[in-house]
Structures are given as structure tokens and as C-alpha cells.
Chain A
Amino acid sequence: MTAAIERLVILGGGTAGWMTAAALSRLLPPDIKIRLVESEQIGTVGVGEATIPHLRQFNTLLGIDENAFVQATGATYKLAIEFNGWGDAGSRYLHPFSGFGDDLNGIDFHHYFLRARKHRPDLTLDDFSLASWAARSGRFGPPRPEFPTGYGYAFHLDAGRYARFLRDYAEARGVERIEGRVAQVEQDPDSGHIRRLHLESGQAVEGQLFVDCSGFRALLIGDTLGVGYQSWRHWLPCNRAVALGSPAMAEPPPYTRVTASGAGWIWRIPLQHRTGNGHVYSSDHLSDEQACEQLRIAIGKPAITEPNFIRFEPGYRARSWDKNCVAVGLSSGFLEPLESTSIYLIQMAILKLVTYFPNARCEGPGQDAFNRWMALEYGRVRDFLILHYHANRRPEAFWQQCREMTIPDELARKLALFKEAAAVEHYEHGLFGLPSWLAVYLGQGVTPDGCDPRVAGHPPHKVAAHLQGMADTLKRCAESLPPHAEAVVRGVTGSPAPAELSLYGGRYGR
């Protein structure tokens, strides 16, 4: 048997670095020495504040108390993402963390919805999501057993405070933090494995396994090991962002808002103590000044921070684990935050690293399994993001180009399936199940030719009447929840809702 790993080094103290440190200090045997190198001089990317419900599973795994976490990170709750101006300038829809309606007679709900709309074109999918009703009415509470459906929830959090919170957690569990800037990386001359990080201070940090959380710099996986980066810019045209903070909202809504702009989109993330805003755009269509100016206009209030300009290239590294180096976070790839997936991808990389944790040789089937898994995760999120850009009827040159671009085969196949037969391609692993695809298809005007023939036999007005009853029930349930602002202050009480690796909550049965 090859020797076990005893010394692990994490490079980087952003969200990725501290999530990794915290999780490994909990999930690996205590005899493994974990050290984290970060440089205050370089700093972190400073954004990344909207999450999806999977983060609750991460908290549970680490034994983190949810209310304490919400207070420490200035968090608010999140039930959905609101999409404004996607599809066409007037479209507005939610992508909630829940399924839609109840399946009837073993046939998916959305076929009944499509049928009912022949009679009631005013019905929207949101009418059939409890999470959507709660989001729209500014209410929040964890799902209750008496509700007809479950739902998931996530958080908006302050990235800086989150890293600090995890740092305290990790340090309390024995992780050693080393402040300093890496000047040089020493490799084994034969195997090319990384041996030591030499800091500017002259200190050398030796390890057997290195986790590269150095952000876009990708100091180890990219600069040192030369693992290639595959760009997806031909499908995801945005490559810049500017972020600005504004004052906290009096009534922070329990959802993230993303509004399409002429050459990208603008986010709004409500926190307890401030509001995060940003503009993601394509440098081919917009200058940094224009982008920042548009963002200021969209905020409509004076900013409370200086603009933070960020450049990126959408894409990923097919081998995010190479030799004795595992890339986690921005060093492994970047998919824009439209669906708040980056922190989730960090979480999955950590979980898979633990599952396939290597011995001192570091290479083998476990490494392949890790790389395959991350490729699957990145690929599935990618296609879902491309759909948001592709399915539009907006007039601007940027959007026209998105509409006309060649999309990946896998996505083309999914779109054809929905248009021809109102069916959503099924896969078990990775992100985005039927409700999510449905929300975006229908929200952005991808309309199928018909619906399931077994439902097409029912008169639309009868189906609509039945569905109206469903919507009324969901609305009543949502109205029984407390106002979101109150929930944020008081915290969530009662036995915690199940924290599964699911977007839609424990009781979405698919």
C-alpha cells in the first residue's frame, strides 16, 4: 500500500480556499496537517454572493448552525432568481427552488399547464410554485410538513464575511494560515509534482497534495503545471464584470434579480447590510465606462463602494486534478454567475476530492473520477446558461448574435425535444432538473408544438379550473409565511428542513 498523505497545502484564501480548508478539516482524518497560504496584498475577487440550496447540505456536513451562519455573513434568504428582460424586453419570470404543480395520472404537470393556457393565457408557471408565491410576496420560512409541496432555499451572503467565518471555523480545527505571496513554485524534477511553495518572505511551504484556490491566476494548475484552459466564449459571450455596492434595501426580497441589458445583464443581491450589484457584459459590445454607467443608472442610488472591475474568460479546465494538484474555484474554470453556480461547483469539487481522496502517489482512477465528475458538472451548467442567451427575441446586436450562434449539440437536442414534444431531457446527476429547464424554456418563450396527447384530450377550460384550485392553495400557503425581513432578524425556528443535494427541496419526487 502506498503511503497516506500527511501534509496538504491550500493556496488561496478566497471563498474556494476557506471552504476547502473548513471542509477538509472536518471531513479528512485529523492526522492530516492542513495549511493555507494567502496574500492580503493580492486579495480576493470580492464577489460571489448568491447561492443555491445545496449550500445548506455543506453547512450541515460541517455542523454549522444555520442561524449563526446567517447572522455572521449578513445573509438573507433566497427562494428564486427573477429574470427580467430575458426572452424579450418585457418578459419577467422566476426560476424558483421548487417544482411546479402536481403531476396528474403519472403525467408531468406542465402538460396540463400548457393545455390550460389555451383557455387562460394569463396563467404563468409561477402560479404553481410555492417558492415563487413566497418570493413574490416577500415572505420566507422553511417548508412545512402540511404544505402540499416542498421547496429549497439558499442564501445571499457577504463573500468577505463568509470567508472570515469559515476561516475561524477552519483555524479552530487546526488549519494553519500562512500569510504571504508565492514567488516561486518548486517541482520534482522527475515527476513534475509540486513539492514546495516559496513565499516572498523566504518561507517554503512543503506538501504532498496541493489544492489550487488561487482564483483566476490559477498559479499552480495553470502557470506551474500548464494544464490547458478550454474557452467557451463562443457560446457565452460575456467576459467582463463590474461590481458596485449600494445601501441595504428596507425590504430585501428573498430572491436574486438578474436583468438583461443591451450587451449582458445586471444582478442585484440583497444582503442585510448592503446590496450587491454588478453588470456582466461583453467587451466587444460595451466599454468598461459604459458598463459602469449603465449599472449606476440601474441602481438609481449612490453607490457605497468603488467599482470593482473584473475580467474573465468563460470556460474550464478538463483536468482540474493534474499530478498532485487539484484546482478548486475560479482556478478550475468560470461560468458566469447567472444561475449562482460557482459556489456550488466549489462545494462539489470539495466533496469529490474527499470521496476520491488520494494516497501519496496522487494519480489513478480516483483522479479520473474527479475530473470526469467536474467535466459533467461544468458541461451541464454550461448548456443551461447558453439557453438563457440563445432563447431571446431582443433587438440589440449582442442578442441577435446570441440567437444566431451555433449551440452545442447536447443543447440543440434538448431544445428540439421540448419544441417537438414538450418533453424535458432527463439526467440524474449534476445541475438542473425538469423544473429549471421548464422555467427558462417557458419564461423565455420557447413554446412547444403541443402537449402530451393524453392531456390534449381534455377541454382547456376544465383543466384551467382544476389548476386554478392548485394555484389558490399554493398562494394561501405562501401567505401563511412571515415577512422575509422578519425571518432574517429572528432566524428560522423549529426542526430544520432537510438539507439535501437538491435544488427543489426534499419533497420534489424526481
Chain B
Amino acid sequence: MVADTALKHIAVVGAGAVAHAAAFTLARALKPSGVEVTLVVTPAAPGDQQQVEISQPALHELIGIWGLPEPALLKACDGLYGLGFEYQPLGREGFFLPFGRHGIDPAPASFEQGFFKCHPGAIAQRYSEHFLATQAARRGQFDFPVDDPRSIKSTLRYGLHLDHSRLCDTLADYGERLGLRVCKASLDDVERGVDERIAAVRLGNGERLVADFYIDATGAESRLLGEALDVGFEDWEHWLPWTVQSQLSLPPEAQPQPRARLCQTDFGWERRAGLRSCERIDALGTAQTDWVGWCRAYGQADEALRALRPGRREVFWRGNCLALGDAAGSATPLVLSELHWACKALLLWLELYPDKRLSNALQGEYNRRAGAMLAAIRDFHLAHRLAETGVTLEQRDAWPASLRFRLSLFETQGRLWPEDEEAVPQEAWIILLTGLGVQPARYDRLLDALPDGQLADLHRRIQQALDRALATMPTLSKVLARDAG
């Protein structure tokens, strides 16, 4: 039975993974409530073809709703399991940013403090080594987390590397079996109704599609929310200068590796992530970057470029239209992808789920919380600019107050300010900041009361526990073979 005021038809418009994931999620989650979902697949831009998704562990929440067997999904998307990012900044030692947490109780001070004290020159490297994920990734090994808090494997979290276009096809396929209506057509026009609502969308196939609610996943163009409903845009390019993305495909590595790589270049960042059949490289740079030269360096002809538009819409949800992913705003896909941000936002929307009255208060709560989510991602990505030698203190003074405060507190006190909404666990912040050369000026003085050698002992014991776990951990190739069997 369906309540009279309930939404009955939701239309999702877009070309990419965000649109497909949103439509499939809604079709799944809202099927018991009798909601019909239509996915309008608009033609993809040339630069969108070869995108690779390097997902965060949070994607599992969505996959849980999808109810698809993960190995099958992974295989269909040419995918691999990933344990984190290997960083290579320019002119500095590299480090590994693992997913998950270390899970070590304060003894007596919180775990990272011991590295501030004992390894001031190499905090990120030494601290990160105490994560099982770091060590496993270095050896090409992989395993799934276990639920038992006594096991060191309970600290593992993992993400997926997925081919975007295959992910789209897979979700559309499964979706149609579930009753999702998939309609491939261009978006010709958006009709605006009264009260800042969308009345209908007109498609290239002549169809006039009317729904109770519209999801705008049209990317940075934001055709529904931005264009049709006239929602303003706040530009973040002065903070996040990476406005162009290019991508290439290379032959796969000899053995599949459960990690992505993030290398700083003279123009921005280059990301590499393995799939089963190839390795994908993409780069984030600017309009001034020599993209032809970049492709040639890999022996390839230049590929279509993708424009990125860092910034955010004033609101993400207005009336009967919700923008997801780049259509709502973008902090660039440097580490946390567009899909990641879209998924978190969609889950929030499903938590607050409206009826046809489209409560203003509900919109307000969504916009408040989703705004904090995007700001948290922005701050994390922006912090990567600490790797640039050219970033001056004056430039930093113009950074968002939230990030400036975080940095100053970390530099002076070695503490991270906890926000209500965080993009990544504290551990990730600690590794990133120290890896990029931010040195806390102090460590927890409680450590001074410890007898000599106690910290080193603790670190040695952890290392031994890690070694034991690694001794029996399979390689990623074995895990993939087992998945197939």
C-alpha cells in the first residue's frame, strides 16, 4: 500500500556512474514503497569514457542496498580490490595512505603521538607501517576484514577499482531486471513549473517525461538544478586549481596490485589504478598543462580532456529536484571521487526521504549536512596543496577557516579538530599532513613518563602481530582466482 502523499515516480537524468548508481539504488530501496524510477541516460561526453572509480570503503554501504554479489560485480566491472593510496610527492619520501584504522588503544597517549616523539622526520612512513593494509598492499596481498575485534584483520577496510562505463552497463542491466526503466535519450529541455519546481523534462526522442521528483546527475552543467532552477554557483577554483582531467589506458601490471597510486607532478597530480585488463592513468591539471606532451610521455596519442569545475551550488536540493555529484558541486576527484560524494549524499537523502509536500525544513537539513560533507572533502583535497613548494603563507591565509584552524592546531598541538562531518578518518589526516611535511611542534607529554624502550617495544609487538597476519594472507591474484572459482 502506498500513502497518497508519497512520491510515486522519480526520474534520474545523467550519463555517468552517479546517475546509474543513483537510479539503481533508488529502484532497489524504494521498490517496497512502490516507487517507479526512470533513468534517462544522456549521451556521454568523450572525456568520460575511460574513467576509473577508485572507491572508498563507504561504497559498500551502497552495494549492501544493491544486493548484488560483490565478486560478480567486481568481475563485470573489470575490477580489483584496493587497500589504499600510495603517495609519491615531489621531492619528498613517499608514503602509504591505507583505508581503515589502526585500532590501537591509547597507551597512555593516543597512538600517533609516539611517532611524533620517536620519528619526527618520518612520521607518515613509520606510522602508516603499523597498519595491516599498508604492509599487505606493499606485498601485493589482500584479505577481507573480519568482525572479531581481537583479530588484527578487523582493522582492514577496502575499496574497489571499477571501470566506470562497465559499472554503468552492469547497473543498467540489473536495474532493468528490477523494473527500472532505462531510457537512452538526450536532454533537450527542462520545463520549469510554479514554485521553483520542475514540471517535466523533454527528451531527444520526443518524450515529455513527468515525474514527482527529479535527480540531476548531469555533471558540472547541472542542467536541472543549476540551469533550469537557476541555483547559483560558488567557485572554488582559487582553492582547487585542478580544472582539467585527462586519462589513458596502459597494459596491466604483471601482478594485480591492491592499491592506487597518487604521484605529484609539476602540473598537479597523476593517479594510477589497476583494473584486471589494464592500468588506468589519469591526471589532474590545469588548462596550461601540456596535455599532448603528457600523453606522448606514455607513448599515446592525446585523449579527450574532461573539464572539472570545483565549487558548489548554493543549495543541492530545491523543491522537487536533487542534484547529485558534480551537478551539486565538486571538490575534484583527487582522492574522494564524484561517486563517493554522490553516494554519501544519496544515502542522506534516503534517510530524510520526503513526500510530495517536499518539506522546506527537510530540504534545509539536507542542504546543511550535505554542505558540510562537501566542505570536508574540499578541505581534505585542498590540504594536498601543502605538497606544492609554491604555496605561500599568504595563499594559505585565504584557505577556508575550517582548514586553517585544523592546520594550525595540528602544527602547534599535534591534535586534529573533530568536525561534525568528516570526510576521512583521523588516521588519514595524520598521514597526509605529516607525509606532506607538516610537523607537529609537540607530542603528548604523557609519553615522557614511559620507561625507556617501552614505545619501541610496543611498536615491535605490533609489527610481530602484523607479520603473523601477513604470513597467511593471500595475494590479490589468489583472492581474485578464488572469487572466480
Contacts and interface: CB of A to CB of B under 8 A. Distances in A.
Given A453-B5, A454-B33, A457-B3, A423 B362 contact: yes
Contacts of A366: 409, 412-413, 415
Interface in A1-25: 1, 4
Contact of A428 (B33, B355, B421): B421
A453 B415 contact: no
Interface stretch (B126-134, B254-262, B329-337, B440-448): B440-448
A417 B445 contact: no
B352 A423 contact: yes
B446 A458 contact: no
A453 B353 CA distance: 8
B297 interface: no
B405 A365 contact: yes
Given A417-B361, A452-B353, 10 more contacts: A4-B445, A28-B445, A366-B412, A369-B405, A420-B362, A425-B365, A426-B369, A453-B6, A453-B355, A456-B5
| 6 pairs of A and B residues whose beta carbons are closest in the complex | A456-B3, A453-B355, A453-B6, A420-B359, A417-B361, A428-B420
A416 B361 contact: yes
B355 A456 contact: yes
Contact of A457 (B33, B408, B411, B413): B33
Nearest to B106: A61
A164 to B, nearest CB: 27
By size class, the interface of chain B is 35 or more
A413 interface: yes
Contact of A369 (B33, B409, B445): B409
Interface in B15-73: 29-30, 32-34, 65
B419 to A, nearest CB: 8
A2 to B, nearest CB: 9
Interface string A283-294: 000000000000
B405 A368 contact: yes
Contacts of A450: 5, 355
A1 B442 contact: yes
A69 interface: no
Given A420-B359, A458-B1, A357 B445 contact: yes
A107 B417 CA distance: 31
Interface in A357-374: 357, 359, 364-366, 368-369, 372
B369 A359 contact: no
B267 to A, nearest CB: 33
Interface residues of A, number: 40
B7 interface: yes
A509 interface: no
A28 B446 contact: yes
Given A417-B364, A427-B420, A29 B359 contact: no
Nearest to A419: B361
Nearest to A359: B442
Contacts of A420: 357, 359-362
Contacts of A225: none
A413 B364 contact: yes
Contact of A364 (B361, B412, B417, B448): B412
B484 interface: no
A201 interface: no
A457 B8 CA distance: 12
B319 to A, nearest CB: 15
Given A359-B442, A368-B405, A369-B409, A30 B449 contact: yes
B350 interface: yes
A4 B448 CA distance: 12
A421 B3 contact: no
A429 interface: yes
Interface in A95-110: 105-107
Nearest to B110: A355
A453 B420 contact: no
Contact of A456 (B6, B420, B442): B6
A357 B6 CA distance: 53
Interface centre among A105, A413, A454 (most CB of B within 10 A): A454
A397 interface: no
A143 B411 CA distance: 42
Interface in A379-432: 413, 416-417, 419-421, 423, 425-429
Interface in B337-385: 350-355, 357, 359-362, 364-365, 369
A25 to B, nearest CB: 12
A216 interface: no
B2 interface: yes
Given A366-B413, A453-B354, A456-B355, A417 B362 contact: yes
A454 to B, nearest CB: 4
B418 A459 contact: no
A371 to B, nearest CB: 12
Nearest to B352: A423
B30 A369 contact: no
23 contacts: A29-B448, A106-B65, A356-B413, A365-B405, A365-B411, A366-B409, A366-B415, A417-B359, A417-B364, A420-B360, A420-B361, A421-B359, A421-B362, A423-B365, A425-B365, A426-B365, A450-B355, A453-B5, A454-B32, A454-B33, A456-B5, A457-B34, A459-B1
Contacts of B354: 421, 453
A27 interface: yes
B441 A1 contact: yes
